[in-house]
Structure 1
């Protein structure tokens, strides 16, 4: 239109999935200035044609329309049920000066729009199932008796009698869950690539959350005489006793050095 114009028209999501809510947004301007009087806006979506609709033109592909009376320039129109067909759709946004309604492809009253804009978008695939549970479970650091932490992949030196404090982090979404951490210092053997020499367990609980939330926690492994002095010890932690399989951090190899039993009177 010469007087009215549409500006900043966009739709979300940019690539909708089958049956996913679809929203069209934008602004109506008069002489380049936001128009604040009542105005009627329609979003008209035409489905891609199926083969029988191409053969019988009188049928044509389906068209769906949502509209709203707008006061204040900005408009937002939603198709709450989305679209049940994949392919390239045509989107037309039309602005009318008075009350306007659509019955199938018929406009009532049959007056032309004062301005309009057209584009296309793609509907592809189904909405993936919502991801819930744990993600990004990892070892953040570890320390001697809760002292200065060593970042993951760094080497920590320990004596018999010390505690190896392992700090872990993860994200969680969903219902409240109780489980256990199982932390282990391991050594590679020919019969077992992750032979656990020392381990520890600790119970934990995370609250329910509708969105992803980050958590950090720690677990201590007591260094006993069961482990020999050496440098080729690794570290890992897993989450147990939760719905589904156990959840593992990555294996950190050669990150723990055991010095032995401290001399009498030596500070640890």
Structure 2
């Protein structure tokens, strides 16, 4: 008799689980269909329930929006766990940023590595940007702190500008690291063309809403806009690494 009751309880839990799954899927489909109708050009990467009942978290590239389960309402902004003092949206955005960067791959970046790497950052840079030049002039200090610098190009003047052409020429140089260092000192690189990732870097920067350069992105996808001295950046990265 006892075994029969246990079996009935298990069966009930299974049925409840399937019912919840079916409802959740139905709501997700409603959200997807509503967005496809109202914003047909938007490519949805994922839809999942948020921590708030009736509200779904929708990932579009490196952006996150919140949609009601009937698809009628959209919220844009950051969801904060007040008790835990956590920005839940920023955490999800960080993960999305890293996923997008990983699609480009380290082979499509210009990388300066220390002998022993403790941290890695991605830096959107403009060859003609003053603070970008300052950051790179101190590259040895970053390497001494064990920070690997992985550069992506973001010429703020846009495609076809002098800064853009310099970025392409640097990428197409035989020694990219040396060419970048020379260009950051104000030397104009010999004009060169080849297959290059500069447009892809710029597109990613636009998705990240880069307002200025340098813009530093950490391994967790957190953003530090502007120049940070090596020691200050190292302290920030150590703090980030210590966090759960």
Shorter chain as denominator, the TM-score bin is under 0.3
Larger Rg computed on CA atoms:
1
Normalised to the residue count of structure 1, the TM-score between the two structures is 0.18
Which structure shows the bigger proportion of residues in strand conformation? 1
